[in-house]
Amino acid sequence: MKLSFRVRGFTALAMLGGLAWTAAVPQARSQEPIVIKFSHVVAADTPKGRGAERFKQLAEQLTKGRVKVEVYPNSTLYKDKEELEALQLGSVQMLAPSLAKFGPLGVKEFEVFDIPYMFPSEAFLARVENGPIGQRLMSKLETKGITGLAFWDNGFKVFSANRPINVPGDLKGLKMRIQSSKVLEAQMRALDAIPQVMAFGDVYQALQTGVVDGTENPWSNMYTQKMHEVQKYAVDTYHGCLGYAVIVNTKFWSALPPDIRSALESAIKEASRFEREIARKDNEDAMAAIEKSGRTKIIHLSADQRAVWVKALAPVQGEVAGRVGKEVIEELVKEQAAAGVK
Ligand code: LMR
């Protein structure tokens, strides 16, 4: 049958349109895997980096290949601020940002985890994260189009700089890099230091060039970012915890087939157990490697010396109560008493 040019043209366009539509939703075809892009800002060989890889293995195994996880470590896909925007846009499906990075998103209550010495042990931190306080905080992400899947942890932070740090006054006047958290700003000001918010991926160069004088992080982040090459001193204050929220784009998560979502929930659960299990030893190994390098002198505090830091940083809790919530602080103080940690 000879089609008129007009009909032939229309038919061709309809076919092209159909192909384009099919290509636009590759997941509509059974053999195409559902792709999860998991972006983060730390090295692969860190608790969070290893946790993300373990999630990848488990997710692909438990979904029998129907899901493919692409992990992008070390800010290779997105840096700090960009990654949360990308998640909300759906350009990336999963992240595990530090709890100190949710303030700019409008969820300032997460900064309660930045209060110095509020969480004196991993066990207490896990008790809070897995209890009503943690669950209530995660639910605050929902209005941002984000679903919180789990908390991960990376131990406790130390201070580093290029001058000896023994007592709180030793940080006076230093430009100290921090994450985007008003509580961490208050922490640095309580030490008469000058807080400088900066993306994690930019810290090494900023320390190397003197844009900032020092910073804070757990040993594993310090070592894997080679900060020991550009920091002459560190002190084991263990003044604050570094926790993460493993989060997913809600629209993507809700649209998954229920059996896939259930398999991914199992993968997250096991990856979370694994990440917590390795965090303490990863940090101990990183501290030993830093000391062995001879590049950074680590000052080890006695309990009495650390008590001086606790006292110097105690005012921060009262200063930030209005921002993170007086009620949650009162709940935490009660939890501390119930857990016998203070
Ligand atoms: C930092 O920016 O210092 C940390 O949040 C990096 C990380 O995610 O562990």
Q: What is the pLDDT of residues 65-75, one digit of tens each?
A: 999 999 999 99
- Residues 291-308, mean pLDDT to the nearest whole number: 98
Amino acid at 118: M
Confidence band (pLDDT; 50, 70, 90) for 172? very high
Note the pLDDT tens digit of each residue in 75-134. 999 999 899 999 999 999 999 999 999 999 999 999 999 999 999 999 999 999 999 999
Pairing between strand 233-235 and 297-299? parallel
Which alpha helices (H) appear in 130-241, and where do they start and end? Answer: 132-139, 182-190, 203-209, 219-224
**What's the rounded Cα separation, in Å, for the pair 71 and 38?**
5
Is the minimum distance from the CB of 41 to ligand 1 under 6 angstroms? yes
pTM above 0.85, yes or no: yes
Q: What are the contacts of 70-73 at 24+ separation with CB within 8 A?
A: 70/35, 70/36, 70/37, 70/38, 71/38, 71/40, 71/44, 72/37, 72/38, 72/39, 72/40, 73/40, 73/42, 73/43, 73/44, 73/49
CA of 98 to the centre of ligand 1 (A): 6
Torsion sign, CA atoms 185, 152, 312, 177: negative
pLDDT of residue 206: 98
Ligand 1 mean position, distance from CA 7 (Å): 60
Task: Find the 180 Cα to ligand 1 centroid distance in Å.
Answer: 10
- The answer to whether 123 and 179 are in contact (CB under 8 A) is no
User: Ligand 1 in contact with 160 (CB < 6 A)?
Assistant: no
272 lines ligand 1 (CB under 6 A): no
